[in-house]
Amino acid sequence: MAKFERKGKTGMPAISTASLPDIVFMLLFFFMVSTTLRETELFVKIKLPEASEVVKLEKKSLVSYIYIGPPARQYQSLFGTDSRIQLNDSFKTLTDIRDFISSEREAMSESDRPFLQTSLKIDEDTRMGIVTDVKQELRKASALKISYSARRVIHD
Protein backbone atom coordinates (compact mmCIF):
# COMPACT_ATOMS: atom_id res chain seq x y z
CA MET A 1 0.00 0.00 0.00
CA ALA A 2 1.06 3.50 -0.71
CA LYS A 3 1.78 5.73 2.15
CA PHE A 4 0.68 9.39 2.08
CA GLU A 5 3.01 11.75 3.84
CA ARG A 6 2.34 15.29 5.00
CA LYS A 7 5.09 17.60 3.94
CA GLY A 8 4.37 20.08 6.72
CA LYS A 9 1.53 21.85 8.34
CA THR A 10 -0.09 24.28 5.99
CA GLY A 11 -1.28 27.49 7.63
CA MET A 12 -4.05 29.82 6.71
CA PRO A 13 -3.88 31.10 3.14
CA ALA A 14 -2.77 34.73 2.74
CA ILE A 15 -5.50 37.36 2.56
CA SER A 16 -5.82 38.88 -0.87
CA THR A 17 -5.12 42.62 -0.84
CA ALA A 18 -6.06 43.17 -4.48
CA SER A 19 -9.27 45.04 -3.59
CA LEU A 20 -7.68 47.17 -0.86
CA PRO A 21 -6.95 50.20 -3.13
CA ASP A 22 -10.58 50.16 -4.30
CA ILE A 23 -11.83 50.27 -0.72
CA VAL A 24 -9.44 53.08 0.20
CA PHE A 25 -10.56 55.19 -2.78
CA MET A 26 -14.23 54.57 -2.03
CA LEU A 27 -13.72 55.77 1.56
CA LEU A 28 -11.73 58.78 0.38
CA PHE A 29 -14.43 59.70 -2.15
CA PHE A 30 -17.17 59.30 0.48
CA PHE A 31 -15.47 61.66 2.94
CA MET A 32 -14.66 64.19 0.22
CA VAL A 33 -18.30 64.33 -0.81
CA SER A 34 -19.88 64.33 2.63
CA THR A 35 -17.53 66.73 4.44
CA THR A 36 -18.20 70.45 4.33
CA LEU A 37 -15.33 72.80 4.90
CA ARG A 38 -15.56 76.12 6.67
CA GLU A 39 -16.63 78.60 4.04
CA THR A 40 -15.56 81.78 5.78
CA GLU A 41 -12.23 82.52 7.38
CA LEU A 42 -12.69 84.60 10.52
CA PHE A 43 -10.80 87.88 10.59
CA VAL A 44 -12.44 89.01 13.83
CA LYS A 45 -12.09 87.55 17.30
CA ILE A 46 -15.43 86.27 18.57
CA LYS A 47 -16.24 84.96 22.01
CA LEU A 48 -19.97 84.37 21.91
CA PRO A 49 -22.06 85.50 24.89
CA GLU A 50 -23.67 82.93 27.15
CA ALA A 51 -27.37 82.06 26.92
CA SER A 52 -29.62 79.72 28.84
CA GLU A 53 -32.17 79.15 26.05
CA VAL A 54 -30.45 78.12 22.84
CA VAL A 55 -32.18 76.73 19.74
CA LYS A 56 -30.27 75.17 16.83
CA LEU A 57 -30.93 76.50 13.36
CA GLU A 58 -32.67 73.93 11.19
CA LYS A 59 -31.54 74.74 7.66
CA LYS A 60 -28.12 76.36 7.74
CA SER A 61 -28.16 76.84 3.98
CA LEU A 62 -30.80 79.57 4.49
CA VAL A 63 -28.66 81.50 6.98
CA SER A 64 -26.28 84.36 6.21
CA TYR A 65 -23.73 85.26 8.85
CA ILE A 66 -22.51 88.68 9.91
CA TYR A 67 -19.51 88.68 12.24
CA ILE A 68 -18.86 91.64 14.53
CA GLY A 69 -15.89 91.89 16.84
CA PRO A 70 -12.36 93.23 17.26
CA PRO A 71 -9.95 92.29 14.47
CA ALA A 72 -7.75 89.27 15.03
CA ARG A 73 -4.25 90.00 16.30
CA GLN A 74 -2.60 89.89 12.85
CA TYR A 75 -5.05 92.52 11.51
CA GLN A 76 -4.95 94.95 14.45
CA SER A 77 -2.04 96.91 13.01
CA LEU A 78 -4.14 97.66 9.90
CA PHE A 79 -7.63 98.04 11.38
CA GLY A 80 -7.11 98.95 15.04
CA THR A 81 -8.80 97.31 18.01
CA ASP A 82 -12.35 98.68 17.65
CA SER A 83 -15.07 96.28 16.61
CA ARG A 84 -15.36 95.68 12.88
CA ILE A 85 -17.95 94.08 10.60
CA GLN A 86 -16.97 91.02 8.58
CA LEU A 87 -19.13 89.90 5.66
CA ASN A 88 -17.93 86.72 3.97
CA ASP A 89 -14.12 86.96 3.79
CA SER A 90 -13.48 90.68 4.19
CA PHE A 91 -14.02 93.64 6.46
CA LYS A 92 -16.90 95.84 5.33
CA THR A 93 -18.74 98.98 6.40
CA LEU A 94 -22.38 99.50 7.27
CA THR A 95 -23.20 100.64 3.74
CA ASP A 96 -22.07 97.27 2.32
CA ILE A 97 -24.69 95.31 4.28
CA ARG A 98 -27.50 95.96 1.78
CA ASP A 99 -25.37 94.70 -1.11
CA PHE A 100 -24.39 91.67 0.95
CA ILE A 101 -28.03 90.78 1.69
CA SER A 102 -29.07 91.26 -1.93
CA SER A 103 -26.20 89.07 -3.18
CA GLU A 104 -27.13 86.38 -0.62
CA ARG A 105 -30.72 86.48 -1.87
CA GLU A 106 -29.61 86.24 -5.49
CA ALA A 107 -27.52 83.15 -4.70
CA MET A 108 -30.58 81.34 -3.30
CA SER A 109 -33.35 79.68 -5.22
CA GLU A 110 -36.46 81.81 -5.62
CA SER A 111 -38.57 79.54 -3.41
CA ASP A 112 -36.07 79.86 -0.51
CA ARG A 113 -35.64 83.65 -0.61
CA PRO A 114 -38.49 84.43 1.82
CA PHE A 115 -36.84 82.15 4.38
CA LEU A 116 -33.46 83.93 4.40
CA GLN A 117 -32.32 84.44 7.97
CA THR A 118 -29.44 86.59 9.14
CA SER A 119 -27.42 85.35 12.09
CA LEU A 120 -25.32 87.85 14.00
CA LYS A 121 -22.19 86.38 15.55
CA ILE A 122 -21.04 89.12 17.89
CA ASP A 123 -18.20 89.21 20.38
CA GLU A 124 -19.50 89.55 23.92
CA ASP A 125 -17.44 92.71 24.53
CA THR A 126 -18.74 94.56 21.45
CA ARG A 127 -20.59 97.80 22.11
CA MET A 128 -24.29 97.79 21.34
CA GLY A 129 -24.07 100.89 19.10
CA ILE A 130 -22.54 99.01 16.16
CA VAL A 131 -25.04 96.18 16.62
CA THR A 132 -27.94 98.65 16.48
CA ASP A 133 -26.49 100.23 13.34
CA VAL A 134 -26.19 96.80 11.68
CA LYS A 135 -29.79 95.98 12.63
CA GLN A 136 -30.96 99.28 11.09
CA GLU A 137 -29.17 98.45 7.84
CA LEU A 138 -30.72 94.98 7.85
CA ARG A 139 -34.12 96.60 8.28
CA LYS A 140 -33.46 98.86 5.27
CA ALA A 141 -32.48 95.75 3.27
CA SER A 142 -35.74 94.03 4.32
CA ALA A 143 -33.84 91.29 6.13
CA LEU A 144 -36.17 91.10 9.11
CA LYS A 145 -35.43 87.55 10.32
CA ILE A 146 -32.48 88.00 12.66
CA SER A 147 -30.98 85.58 15.14
CA TYR A 148 -28.14 86.00 17.60
CA SER A 149 -25.54 83.29 18.02
CA ALA A 150 -24.66 82.33 21.58
CA ARG A 151 -23.03 79.51 23.49
CA ARG A 152 -25.12 77.39 25.82
CA VAL A 153 -24.60 77.70 29.56
CA ILE A 154 -24.78 74.41 31.37
CA HIS A 155 -26.17 74.83 34.87
CA ASP A 156 -25.35 72.20 37.46
Mean pLDDT by runs of 10 across the 156 residues of the chain is 65 82 92 78 92 87 94 93 93 96 94 94 95 97 94 79
Measuring CA to CA, which residue among 34, 74, 57, 59 is closest to residue 121?
A: 57
pLDDT at position 88, please? Answer: 87
pLDDT at position 53, please? Answer: 87
Question: In terms of C-beta density within 10 A (0-12 exposed, 13-18 middle, 19 or more buried), how is residue 137 classed?
Answer: buried
pLDDT at position 70, please? Answer: 96
pLDDT at position 41, please? Answer: 85
pLDDT at position 82, please? Answer: 94
Cα–Cα dist 152/89, whole Å: 26
Q: What 8-state DSSP symbol labels residue 55?
A: -
3-state secondary structure of 1: coil
> What distances in angstroms separate CA 2 from CA 5, 6, one per listed residue?
10, 13
